Amino acid sequence: MILKRIHLLLLGCVVGVGSLQAQDSSYHNYLYDSRTAYFRQLPTAKKPVIFFGDSITQWGDWCEFLGKANILNRGIAGDNTNGLLARVDEVIRHQPKKLFILAGTNDLNKGMPADAIVATYRRIISTVQAASPHTRIYVQSVMPINNQLIGRQYYTATNEQIIALNAGLKEMAAGSGVVFVNVYDALLDAAGQMDARYTYDGLHLSGEGYLKWVQVLKQQRLI
């Protein structure tokens, strides 16, 4: 019954975001397909905490960071909000206690406008809320970058664009009845860039960067 409800909800979402998916369907690649297939072969967990996102989520050892076993990592490197929407059924089948979402970095790099990213986020959240109403949802801010360390041949978005997106996500979260978690500010240096201690390439997080992120979640008693 739950799977049928999810299917119907996703059909509605796909119709609503068809134009957005036409702009960027790059999430649909070998890594995405193989990792989603792998996830679906795993047993259903009992009220887990799920971290849902792209490479920044995938490369975090969440069980080790948090000292808890019932945590599922559902990050896929290179994913974007359209990719999350397309695989949200994998989250819903677990009926998670908590869901931490982080996406938007790759959308910005593909030139997706902030309002389109926010709109897809809204569809992800409404789908989860309808099919897993007891799940507490947390929208985490997109992380800053460090202009001196980042390879501009690989990543073109700016901190100004990230700030604008985060503002839209914060407003959307408030209107959707979910919690916005500001991790962005905790990672900044005095110049308003991602602190070099927290990144190894100007975009992805170092071990110290992940520990700072976890510290934010713990300080706000979210985990």
Give residue-wise pLDDT tens across range 1-31.
444 444 444 444 433 434 444 455 667 789 9
182 CB-near residues (< 8 Å, 6+ apart): 141, 166, 170, 216
Tell me, rounded to whole angstroms, the distance of Cα 11 from its chain centroid: 21
pLDDT, tens digit (0-9, with 9 covering 90-100), for 149-198: 998 888 999 999 999 999 999 999 999 999 999 999 999 999 999 999 99
pLDDT the model gives residue 12: 42
Integer CA distances (angstroms), 187 to 39, 72, 215, in order: 30, 24, 11
pLDDT the model gives residue 25: 65
Number of C-beta neighbours around residue 111 at 10 A = 11
* Coil, helix or strand at residue 17: coil
Q: Where are the alpha helices (DSSP H) in 67-157?
A: 81-86, 88-92, 105-109, 114-131
**In this structure, which amino acid lies at residue 6?**
I
pLDDT the model gives residue 219: 96
The mean pLDDT of the chain is 90
Share of the chain above pLDDT 90, in %: 84
pLDDT the model gives residue 151: 86
Distance CA 12, CA 216 (A): 35
- β-pairing, 98-102 vs 49-53, is parallel
Distance CA 96, CA 88 (A): 12
The pLDDT of 112-139, averaged and rounded, is 98
72 CB-near residues (< 8 Å, 6+ apart): 45, 48, 49, 50, 51, 94, 96
- Say which CATH superfamily domain 2-219 falls into: SGNH hydrolase (3.40.50.1110)
What DSSP line would sit under 152-187, residue for residue?
A: TTT----HHHHHHHHHHHHHHHHHHT-EEE--TGGG
